[in-house]
Structure 1
Amino acid sequence: MEHAFDRSSLGAFLRTRRTALQPEAVGLRRGPRRRAPGLRREEMAELCPMSADYFARLKRGDGPQPSEQRVAAIARGLRLTPEERNHLFLFVGYRTAPTASCGPRT
């Protein structure tokens, strides 16, 4: 059974993760003039192979429902734990993360 796509929870989750991740933690260089904590929108988009505009739309809660493959890419890019990955899949309307597209479970 599929769940409803919870745009507001997905947006809140992405905003929280963006603020929590630091460039150095994901292999990016911290550039000058960084005014806000966490990653820039463009950096998040680079980590989750998508356009910055698409990421911004998801974060604002007005984007389309991402495919399971796109959600798996977001989970990998954000370095989510298996529990966080499952929450992400539920926000987007899917049951749980498909094992094959999320990599090995530890």
Structure 2
Amino acid sequence: MRTLEALATGTPLVASDYGLEGLSVDSPGTPLGAMRANDVDEYVYAVGRLFQDEKLQEKLSNNGRALIENEYAWEQMTQRYEQVLLDTCSKYLVESQE
């Protein structure tokens, strides 16, 4: 949850595989939305790059925020939830008719 909150605020993010699990923030063909680091050396390198590269800060900030707006805003989440409910109800109705 904290990862999504950081991205939503436009904070340039460096996080571990665990913190970024399930998010498309650095996969091929996806705009870079966060930097991945899993040990101390990787964190030092990533944070150092952010301090040195203002364009990278801006890129992560904008892309992270856009990811949240496009994939995790209330409207998108309620649509997904509604679809889960509809699928579950449909499955239940089919099973009960058998």
TM surpasses 0.5: no
Question: Which entry has the higher C-alpha Rg, 1 or 2?
Answer: 2
- Length-normalised TM-score, structure 2: 0.28
User: Which structure has greater helix proportion?
Assistant: 2
User: Which structure has greater strand proportion?
Assistant: 2
- Length-normalised TM-score, structure 1: 0.27
